[in-house]
Chains A and B, each alone.
Chain A
Amino acid sequence: NAGVTQTPKFQVLKTGQSMTLQCAQDMNHNSMYWYRQDPGMGLRLIYYSASEGTTDKGEVPNGYNVSRLNKREFSLRLESAAPSQTSVYFCASSAIPPGLTQWSYNSPLHFGNGTRLTVT
């Protein structure tokens, strides 16, 4: 049982290049999330998806796009990378039933091991 799998593990981009970070979970979870982690800032939510076909902005969505391809996969795209997007990116999933929220349904998040992205 792999849990949450992220690819690639490491990536170096030049300013202006684009790339897609891939995430897949095999736990049949409805909710999926993308976070970035920066020193001293904790984890900040970029986008989340409550169910297949829906996506919502988090705290820091600018410069990113997401696609919930199906129930298993949630990708994060950087269209034109900037040095400020140098960070560690984490994907997570949670077993919240459709129609309920994190607030009303006490469910932990399951994380992948991250993608370390450097933009030069």
Chain B
Amino acid sequence: SQQGEEDPQALSIQEGENATMNCSYKTSINNLQWYRQNSGRGLVHLILIRSNEREKHSGRLRVTLDTSKKSSSLLITASRAADTASYFCATAGNTGNQFYFGTGTSLTVIP
């Protein structure tokens, strides 16, 4: 399976602190995507990084990608209580239209 693995499984921080979560995957990728899932809701796309990119920013989000280590990290700066959610990385299969998700990091931001 190409399924990614997020680390840590759970993270609890104070509001205003930075949150970093990591994703490792098993096979070659064309792009890697990060999603957020609020409790009881579907996943929402956050950011996509292509395999030829090393870093990408979107607002308070910073994503890095190291294809040699088959890993990616998501940094949320100046966290807010509203950032409390689960975060998943996802990669595409190299055939067909399959799309694989990791097991997720549960982030709690304490006001």
Residues of A at the B interface (CB closer than 8 Å) are 4, 31, 33, 35, 40-45, 48, 50, 56, 58-59, 90, 92, 94, 96, 101-104, 106, 108-114
> Given contacts A42-B3, A43-B88, A111-B44, are A101 and B97 in contact (CB under 8 A)?
yes
Do B44 and A45 touch across chains, with their CB atoms under 8 A apart? no
Beyond A33-B99, A43-B101, whether A108 also contacts B88 by CB under 8 A is no
For A103, give its contact among B3, B41, B48, B92 (CB under 8 Å). Answer: B92
Q: Residues of B contacting A92 with CB < 8 Å?
A: 42-43
Instruction: Give the docked Cα–Cα distance between A35 and B33 (Å).
Output: 17
B33 touches A112 (CB 8 A): no
B26 contacts the other chain (Cβ, under 8 Å)? no
B99 to chain A, nearest CB (A): 5
Known contacts: A104-B30, A108-B33. The answer to whether A42 contacts B95 by CB under 8 A is: no
B68 proximal to A (CB < 8 A) = no
Across the interface, B50 reaches (CB within 8 A) one of A43, A48, A106, A112, namely A106
Expressed in whole angstroms, the Cα–Cα distance for A33 and B50 within the complex equals 22
Q: Which residue of the partner chain B has the closest CB to A104?
A: B30
Please tell me the number of chain B residues within 8 Å of chain A, measured between CB atoms. Answer: 29
Question: At the interface, yes or no: B14 with Cβ under 8 Å from chain A?
Answer: no
Sample 13 A-B pairs with CB under 8 A, ordered by A number.
A42-B104, A48-B97, A59-B100, A92-B42, A94-B99, A102-B96, A102-B97, A103-B30, A103-B94, A106-B30, A108-B45, A113-B41, A114-B41
A106: which B residues are within 8 A, CB to CB?
30-31, 48, 50
Across the two chains, which residue of chain A brings its CB closest to B33? A108
Bound complex: CA A97 to CA B108 (Å): 38
Complexed CA–CA distance, A48 and B104 (Å): 22
B3 close to A94 (CB less than 8 A): no
Question: Do residues A50 and B96 form an inter-chain contact, with CB atoms below 8 A?
Answer: yes
**A40 in contact with B103 (CB, 8 Å):** yes
> In whole angstroms, how far apart are the Cα atoms of A23 and B95 in the complex?
24
Q: How far is the CA of A92 from the CA of B97 in the complex (A)?
A: 12
A112:B42 contact, CB within 8 angstroms = yes
- B58 interface residue, CB < 8 Å from A? no
User: Cβ of A96: which chain B residues have Cβ within 8 Å of it?
Assistant: 97
The distance from the CB of A28 to the nearest CB of chain B, in whole angstroms, is: 16
